[in-house]
Amino acid sequence: MRLQELTKTSGEWLRGTGPDSDIVISSRIRLARNLAQFPFGNRADKHEQQEIEELLCQYFQKLKGKWKFHYFNVEELDNLDRQLLVERQLISRELADSEGVRGVAFVRKENISVMVNEEDHLRIQAIQSGFSLEKVWKEIERLDDAIEEHVDYAFHQNFGYLTACPTNVGTGIRVSVMMHLPALVITNQMEKVFRALSKINLAVRGVYGEGSQPMGDFYQISNQLTLGKSEQEIIRNLQAVVPNIIDYERQAREALVKESRQELHDKVSRAHGILKTAHTISSEETMHLLSSIRMGFNLGLLDDLEINTINELFIHTQPAHLQKIRGSSLDSAERNAERAKFLRKHLRAVEKPNGDH
Amino acid sequence: MKKCQKCSKPATVHITEIEKHTPNEIHLCETHAQQYLSPGEEQPAQNTAVSILAQYLSTGTVELEQREIKSCPMCDMTFSDFRDQQRLGCPHDYEVFQEELHPLLETIHSETTHCGKVPKRAPGASQRRVQIIKLRNDLKRAIAEENFEDAANLRDQIHNLEQPLPE
């Protein structure tokens, strides 16, 4: 499979189905694992990195029956391809920007991926759309067990799964849920959410955006602590908290509809209008407007759109995707024009034929 | 002895920052190192567990000398190296620096004992693998010293250890 092919579809986790998918985009679990017989990432030399990569690729092949992995050597990819993988959440920013022999294996559906030679030798990830942590855990546990049949994981009876950074030791698990919270943002309640969550050791961070400014009203909620609790407990903690946030968001949306329906409808329609007709548009503005129409769609204020189309637009309007789809590299101004063109094309394509265009 | 870059006291903490693949060496006294390593205002979104780690490492004053001396036989890392890099060198470090890591883990996780999933395969396999790391390091050294006879022996030993255990 060539990376170019990825641009024709979106990862299954963007389908917009699954429980509570109006507010919860996706549920994700990541496990950090290391091979017992090699030093950790930062200490391994080039030969060791190559050995680790070779070994793991062999094992991925052995799993052919259950998981058909495609492996990409990230060191050999150009910047654009790396960026593409980051945008699809298949690799981390860190793997893209670091040096040394490293790569990623993933299945065509993109709901399972394994990074090789990031901070730890293996970073296994499973992701599903909607609020579905149980399903994700079952999937990733199966894979972890399957890999472990061929590999000796670094493990200590007191400290658990051993990782390069002690902040990940023990279960090596990061459980996260990506949520769309535009109403809480509009009603200035995100501070409250941050504070409440940090009291129970959950981290919240914006998903899109450079630096500290979150864009698009997307937030990722995840556990911070990995030692001394079982994987089930950590998952249950999130399962207990997320429904409350979902409720807050739904209540905030209802309140907005009740108290300022006309303003809201106007805001959403204008957003739709700009996206359909602009000739040049920045990433930032796109995120902002897409967030509005996504909420508008969920509230029934816009009906000539599909939810998975909206979800996909978040990904396909990002820099590397635009350039891969177009087939050439583009500078900032060209990207803004290409983005607008892409949006016009895709937002008009789903319009019901009712006369004026 | 290098001087602290912020005052005239001798520098006892040497930090290598890597920004956009360019290493930058910083030499500081204990006080300024603490200040330097404390998380600043400009990174509010930083993972709290990681900033707790940084804070802990920068304010630890217990038995500095002892830490300087003890090193992991497998990867040559000292606890001092760990303080600078905030990453451990190899799985065996957890065994070597058990004592030092205990309070750190307590600070980060409020717990120090794993109680979750366990690999299905024999834990003995892990110990054997640790042996292999040591042999690999010896092999590297032998090759660097052009001691090819030793290197060949070591390679054989590694190969033998890597044979799968009879189930």
ipTM greater than 0.95, yes or no?
no
User: Which residues of chain A fall below pLDDT 50?
Assistant: 354-357
A180 part of a folded domain? yes
3-state secondary structure of A296: helix
Domain that holds residue A266: 249-349
Angstrom CA distances, A337 to A276, A283, A320, stand at 13, 11, 14
**Looking at residue A355, what is its pLDDT?**
45
Q: Which residues of A touch B135 (CB under 8 A)?
A: none
Q: Which of A178, A194, A229 is the last residue of a domain?
A: A229
A291/A176 same-domain check: no
Nearest to A167 among B74, B95, B108 (CB): B108
State how far the Cα of A158 lies from the Cα of B74, in Å rounded to an integer: 20
- Judged by CB atoms closer than 8 Å, whether chains meet at B53 and A166 is answered as yes
Helix and strand element counts for chain A (H, E): 12, 10
Angstrom CA distances, A129 to A16, A25, A143, A299, stand at 6, 6, 19, 19
- Judged by CB atoms closer than 8 Å, whether chains meet at A37 and B75 is answered as no
CA max distance for chain A: 69
CB A35 within 8 A of CB A51: no
**Looking at residue B39, what is its pLDDT?**
47
Task: Give me chain B's average pLDDT, please.
Answer: 76
CB A219 within 8 A of CB A181: yes
- Judged by CB atoms closer than 8 Å, whether chains meet at A36 and B86 is answered as no
Q: Chain A: residue nearest B132 by CA?
A: A37
A280/A322 same-domain check: yes
Q: Which of A178, A196, A229 is the last residue of a domain?
A: A229
CA quadruple A5, A208, A24, A229: dihedral, nearest 10: 100
Give the residue-averaged pLDDT of B92-108: 92
A56/A161 same-domain check: yes
**Looking at residue B46, what is its pLDDT?**
46
State how far the Cα of B11 lies from the Cα of B28, in Å rounded to an integer: 5
Q: Which comes out higher in pLDDT, residue B28 or A342? A: A342
CB A242 within 8 A of CB A131: yes
Question: What is the number of domains present in chain A?
Answer: 2
A241 part of a folded domain? no
pLDDT over 50 at B27, yes or no? yes
CB atoms within 10 A of CB B41: 5
**Looking at residue A30, what is its pLDDT?**
97
A298 part of a folded domain? yes
**Looking at residue B126, what is its pLDDT?**
59
**Nearest CA to A22 among A297, A256, A346?**
A297
> Which tokens sit at A278?
């602009």
Q: Return the residue matching tokens 């007709």.
A: A277
State how far the Cα of A35 lies from the Cα of A47, in Å rounded to an integer: 15
Segment A54-107, tens digit of pLDDT? 999 999 988 888 999 999 999 999 999 999 999 999 999 999 999 999 999 999
Q: Which comes out higher in pLDDT, residue B167 or B90? A: B90
Report the CATH number at residue A8.
3.30.590.10
> Which tokens sit at B100?
């030092």
A36 part of a folded domain? yes
A280 part of a folded domain? yes
A236 part of a folded domain? no
Extended beta strands in A188-304, E state: 202-208, 215-223
pLDDT over 90 at B93, yes or no? yes
- Judged by CB atoms closer than 8 Å, whether chains meet at A224 and B130 is answered as no
Determine which of A79-88, A299-308, B13-22, B74-83 has the lowest per-residue pLDDT on average.
B13-22
A122/A66 same-domain check: yes
A342 part of a folded domain? yes
Query: Chain B window 119-148: which residues touch A at a Cβ cutoff of 8 Å?
Result: 119-121, 123, 125-126, 129-130, 132-133, 136, 140
**Looking at residue B59, what is its pLDDT?**
63
**Looking at residue A165, what is its pLDDT?**
95
A258 part of a folded domain? yes
Best of B17, B114, B132 to mutate (most A CBs within 10 Å, chain A):
B114
> Which tokens sit at A175?
């459980």
CB A307 within 8 A of CB A21: yes
Q: Which residues of A touch B22 (CB under 8 A)?
A: none
